[in-house]
Chains A and B, each alone.
Chain A
Amino acid sequence: MKHPEKSLSKDEALKKAKRIDQLRTYLPVVGLVVIFVLFIFLTNGKMIAPKNLILLLNQVYVVMIAAMGVFFIMTMGGLDFSQGSILGIASIVICLLSPYSIPLAIAGGIFAGACIGAINAYFHVRRKIASFIVTICTMFLFRGFIKYFASDSPVRASMNVYDFDHIEFKLTCTILIVLVGFLAFRFTPFGTYLKAIGAGERGAMFAGIRTDRMKFFIYTLAGALTGFAAFINIVKNGSATANVGNQLETQILIALVLGGMPISGGAKVRFGNIIVGSLLYYVLYSGLTMIGLTTQELQLVEGVIFLIFVAVFADRKALKVIK
């Protein structure tokens, strides 16, 4: 009699664990739909006016592309606070190169981003400094450069960049990048390797994964992705001000956490976190703005929501030290 009883109880325990996992998976999606519908009512339909939808999408592109790099980093259990400064530097490079040739400008932006990513990687991987410390340092360092270049007057791009300012181009680029990222993450060893590094780096190393090389590559890739996102940003704005990319890192972090990303990375990470999270963040942001919240109130609400989501999604078993 003892044994069936025991296996039954184990089944129940497993079911309970599954329910929590399901909650983690579906809460962000359900939240997205609920909040979207809620704001449609609250704003008397203004939310789904075509003009506002395009505006909404316009904000999502940059964050979604840049968030993908950070998503990879966070999957490995790291953090990256330097994305805003990377976007700023890459934007300035793009503006400066745009009079010569647009492809050159794009390549320059990606290269600049990759370089800063590689600097992060060097100090984190080779010098073994925790990633959030390294990236906070580079965030301040490069913010300094941006202020130096763009404080007196914004760095203006050539008028040619406006040729790219149409929804087809921006949407196609974003979908393409996210799709390639998704396929690589979900259907090749790449994704499993990243998750293994996040779940247990030493174990991953002893299973034959070149962990250092992988980390170096991912930080550089994240920089390059943000470098490309900078082009989309310039296409929209036409110039780089001293505040370009300010707080992008926080927006990315909030977006990912809203999307259900466990803050310590590892096995429970889902690619959908990026897409749902970025959309959820901007629906919330636009919605709250439209119903007339001030910037201060907006930050307060953001903070509260952020805290709730971190509390729900943090995998406490894995939450020791973030690399």
Chain B
Amino acid sequence: MSEIRLQVQHLCKSFGITKAVQDVSFNVNKGEVHALIGENGSGKSTLTNMLTGIYTIDSGKFILDGKEVHPRNQVEANNEGISIIVQELGTLSGLTVAENIFLGHEEQFISHGIKNTRAMNRRANELLKQYDFSHIRAEDQIDDYNFEDRKFIEIIKATYFSPKIVVIDETTTALSQEGREELYKHMDRIRAEGNSVIFISHDLAEVLERSDTVTIMRDGVYIDTVKSSDVTEDDLKRLMVGRAVTGNYYRTDYGEKVSDEVVLSAKGVSVPGLIEDVSFDLHKGEILGFGGLSESGMHEVGKAVFGASYDRTGEVVLADGTEIDSIPTAIDHSIAYTSKDRDNESLVLNQSIEDNITLPSLRDLAKGPLQFLRDSALSAFAEKYATQMSVKMQGIEQFVSDLSGGNKQKVVLARWIGKDSDILVLDSPTRGIDIKVKQDIYQLMDRMRKQNKSVIMISEELMELIGMCDRILIMKDGKINGELTRSQELDENALIAKMV
């Protein structure tokens, strides 16, 4: 019987009239990785945000080692022994690595009102060495480092003082395989020290592999706590969704012949510093996957095909010889693109669902030489495709910024289905999205393929590449480093071998 570290008791939180967390109670033991799962909007992040002092508690309490804690901000939370690694960037630009690590805790280096920067840098360098991140230097500006290194710096920031509870909130979605391994290593270390990790992730395979216990939430309500060794992925899915997830997750066909007809080819495409001499053909009715580490350049390939890269050389041509060199040309020639950066590039966040769905199709919907638009035609168009994608919304006039990640992605897809695009470039289409919507997206891709449309899927999730693609191109250091064909024998290790 292990000892209890944290008790969550009858916790409630409402935003206006929406009840985000309702009467949730569960325990986290000492020395365990405790996963917290649930679909988007189930209240996981709200709960951990209360624990770390970002939100205030409406009612209920957290009891850490027998003592009630109610931190009012992150620094107070740290002092209580609670820290968090967030999903997006948690470091501040314009500060050095050391300043970021010790943000809010500078007092340890201050004597007589003067901060000893040298001592702070020395301590930070010691930590970097201890954590095996010696390629990072404490004196450097944080902006000199890429996303992944900045995440590593956050790991140090959140764990160097051996907190009793570390919250890791969907951090892995943004990391490459390599980065994940690094994070797992530190999760194991925290566990070995007898401290606890609250681990939030959408990747159920990862959850089962890495956690000891799993707590499931749905619509702000506590559902169950189970031992990871006792359950399967399907059990978790059922608990999260509240019903059995029927139908197939990925495609099930194997050995189907893909057409020889080429619809798009990239010839010697290079973007300085990102990709180098990338050439490939996309066939009719094919799902072509791009895999690799997040810095491998694969995300830039999507932009290059969509005409959205700066300083691109080489050419992207369609079957009829049309060269794609700008976004409007790409869209006019039936190419669709969903960006990894959904909020900024795929959508106009501060606009309605209607505006977002109709935006690329406005010129098709306009009538006459003066390009007149009828309001009724616009709303009918938006309504039609939003319904077809079953976007969960109050109405098409609702702003996209209010939607959850999965529903935002559905709006993006509705836009391109409305445009009737023949070539879909999907960059990280299921990033940060719950399983129900994931399944919808996979089924949509399969339908597209059967309608002889072609799909390029760029993804950091190896399982979905293996499950969905006819062919997978693996990128490494900006170049294509291998090609794998669809088969039942294909496994993650075969992909990883080409990636690193």
- State which of B345, B352, B371, B415 has its C-beta within 8 Å of the C-beta of A189: B371
Asked whether A196 and B308 contact (CB < 8 A) given A2-B219, A6-B18, A206-B339, the answer is no
Q: B347 at the A/B interface (Cβ < 8 Å)?
A: yes
- B494 CB–A CB distance under 8 Å: no
Are A13 and B350 closer than 8 Å at their CB atoms?
no
Contact A200/B366 with A10-B18, A205-B327 known, Cβ cut-off 8 Å: no
Interface positions, chain A 1-40, Cβ under 8 Å from B, are 2, 6, 9-14
A318 to B415, CA, bound (A): 23
Cβ < 8 Å to A, chain B residues 334-384:
337, 339, 344-352, 355, 358-360, 362-363, 366, 370-373
Given contacts A188-B370, A196-B355, A206-B327, is CB(A6)–CB(B349) below 8 Å? Answer: no
B309 to chain A, nearest CB (A): 12
Chain A positions within 8 Å of B401 at CB level: 317
**Which chain B residue lies CB-closest to A8?**
B17
Residues in chain A near residue B351, CB distance under 8 A: 195-196, 199-200, 266-267
Does B394 interact with chain A (Cβ within 8 Å)?
A: yes
CB interface residues, B 375-404, toward A, < 8 Å = 394, 398-399, 401
Query: CB-nearest residue of chain A relative to B328?
Result: A208
| In the complex, residue of chain B having the shortest beta-carbon distance to the beta carbon of A191 | B373
Bound-state Cα–Cα, A9 to B306, Å: 42
B436 within 8 A of A: no
Closest Cβ neighbor of B415 among chain A residues: A207
Interface of A is mostly: helix
The residue in chain A whose Cβ has the minimal distance to the Cβ of B339 is: A206
Assuming the contacts A6-B19, A12-B17, A203-B347, asked whether A189 and B366 have C-beta atoms less than 8 A apart, the reply is: yes
Q: CA A204 – CA B360 in complex, angstroms?
A: 9
Q: How far is the CB of A214 from chain B (nearest CB, A)?
A: 11
Whole-angstrom distance between the alpha carbons of A121 and B431 in the complex? Answer: 38
Q: How far is the CB of B324 from chain A (nearest CB, A)?
A: 12
- Assess A203 versus B348: contact at CB under 8 Å? Given A6-B18, A9-B17, A10-B394: yes
Max chain A C-beta neighbours (<10 A), residue from B347, B352, B359, B394: B359
Chain A residues in 8 Å Cβ range of B331 = 207-208
Q: Does B321 contact A (CB under 8 A)?
A: no
Give every chain B residue within 8 A of A196 (Cβ-Cβ): 348, 351, 355, 359
Residue A166 CB within 8 A of the other chain: no
CA distance A317 to B351 in the complex (A): 12
A204 with B355: CB separation less than 8 A: no
- Would you call A187 an interface residue if the criterion is a C-beta within 8 Å of the partner chain's C-beta atoms? yes
Residues of B within 8 A of A9 (CB): 16-19
Q: A196-B355, A317-B401 are in contact. Are A189 and B327 (CB under 8 A)?
A: no
Cβ A267 vs Cβ B16 within 8 A:
no
Interface size counted on chain B using CB atoms at 8 A: 40
A128 within 8 A of B: no
Q: Is A243 positioned at the interface, with any CB of B under 8 Å from its CB? A: no
**Inter-chain contact A207/B18, CB cutoff 8 Å:** no
The interface residues of chain A lying within 8 Å CB-to-CB of B327 are 205-206, 208
A200 and B363 in contact, given A188-B373, A267-B355 (Cβ under 8 angstroms) = no
Contact of B337 among A10, A188, A189, A206 (CB under 8 A): A206
Interface residues on A, range: 20 to 34
B151 vs chain A, min Cβ distance (A): 23
Neighbour of A206 across the interface among B308, B366, B370, B371, CB < 8 A: B308
Inter-chain contacts of A318 with B (CB < 8 A): 350
Q: Which B197-238 residues sit within 8 Å CB-CB of chain A? A: 219, 221
B285 CB, min distance to chain A CBs, angstroms: 25
Task: Name the distance in Å between A33's Cβ and chain B's nearest Cβ.
Answer: 27
A267 neighbours in B (Cβ, 8 Å): 348, 350-352, 355, 399
- Enumerate chain B residues within 8 angstroms of A266, measured Cβ to Cβ: 350-351
Q: How far is the CA of A200 from the CA of B359 in the complex (A)?
A: 12
Q: What distance in Å separates the Cβ of B161 from its nearest Cβ neighbour in chain A?
A: 34
- The answer for the CA separation of A318 and B401 in the assembled complex, in Å, is 11
* Interface members, chain A 281-323 (any B CB < 8 Å): 315, 317-318
Q: Which residue of A is nearest B349, CB measured?
A: A200
Decide: A203 near B346, CB < 8 A? Known: A6-B18, A187-B372, A317-B401.
yes
B19 proximity list for chain A (CB < 8 A): 6, 9
Is A192 interfacial (CB 8 A cutoff)? Answer: yes
Residue contact A199 to B348, C-beta cutoff 8 Å? yes
Q: Is A317 in contact with B373, judged by CB distance below 8 angstroms?
A: no
5 other A-B residue contacts (CB within 8 Å) besides A200-B351, A267-B351: A196-B348, A196-B359, A200-B349, A206-B345, A210-B328
Query: Which 10 pairs between the two chains have the least Cβ-Cβ distance?
Result: A9-B17, A189-B362, A203-B348, A208-B331, A200-B348, A199-B350, A207-B359, A267-B351, A188-B371, A206-B345
A-B contact pairs, 25 of them (CB 8 A): A6-B18, A9-B18, A10-B18, A187-B373, A188-B373, A189-B363, A192-B358, A192-B359, A196-B351, A199-B351, A200-B344, A200-B351, A202-B344, A203-B345, A203-B348, A206-B346, A207-B331, A207-B348, A207-B415, A208-B359, A208-B360, A266-B351, A315-B350, A317-B350, A318-B350
> Chain A: residues with CB nearer than 8 A to chain B?
2, 6, 9-14, 187-190, 192-193, 195-196, 199-200, 202-210, 266-267, 315, 317-318
